[in-house]
Amino acid sequence: MLFVTHLAAAAVVGRLSRLPTVPLAAGAATPDLIDKPLGAAGVVELYHSIGHSALVFAVLVPLALYSRLGVAVALGWASHLLFDVVHVVLNGRPGHALFLLWPLARSSDPLGLPPVAFVRHYLWTPSFYFEAVLWLALLAVFIWERRRGGLAPGMGG
C-alpha cells in the first residue's frame, strides 16, 4: 500500500475513534520510516522488516496502556500493518504476510523492491484498484461533508 494511503487511513481511524490524528498518523507512518531507509541502505534485505514486525507490539502495548497518545500511536501502527497484509493478500502473495513475524520467519520469495520500483510494480494490481476505491470513497465523504456545511472534527475546514 502506498505511504499516503496509510496516512489517510490514520485520519479515518482518528475520525471514527476520536483519537488524536497526529499520533495516529505518526504511528501509521513509522513502519515505512524505519524500514524503507534501512532497506535502501542495505542494512536489511527487505523493505518490510523491523518496523513491520508485529513483535514491535511488545513495546507498543505497554505504551498504549500508559496514555491516550500511546493508544493512538499503537493503533496507527497496527492499521499500517493490517493494510499491508491486505495488500499482499489481494495481490496473491499471502505468504508475504510473514513479514509480521520478522525476524523469526519470512517469506521464501519476498518482493523486496525499493520504493520507486515498488510503485511501478504496484500500478494496476488488484490492491491498486482496492486502494483507488478507498481514495474515491474518501473523496465522496469529503464532498458530502462539505456540502452538508463543513467537515467533521479532525478533518479540517
pLDDT 10s digits, 85-111? 999 999 999 999 999 999 998 877 777
CA–CA distance, 63 with 108 (Å, rounded to integer): 33
Q: What are the start-end ranges of the H helices in 18-97?
A: 21-40, 57-66, 68-90
> DSSP class of residue 144?
H
Mean pLDDT of 29-55: 92
Residue 151 has pLDDT above 70, yes or no: no
Contact 47, 39 (CB under 8 A): yes
Query: Count H helices, E strands: the chain?
Result: 6, 0
For residue 124 the three cell numbers come to 494496476
For residue 102 the three cell numbers come to 520478522
pLDDT tens digits, 56-76:
999 889 888 889 999 999 999
Residue 146 has pLDDT above 90, yes or no: no
Q: In sequence order, what are the residues at sequence separation of 6 or more whose Cβ sits closer than 8 angstroms to the Cβ of residue 55?
A: 101, 102, 104
Residue 49 has pLDDT above 70, yes or no: yes
CA–CA distance, 137 with 157 (Å, rounded to integer): 18
* Residue labelled with grid coordinates 525476524: 103
CA–CA distance, 108 with 155 (Å, rounded to integer): 41
For residue 88 the three cell numbers come to 499482499
Whole-structure pTM over 0.75, yes or no?
yes
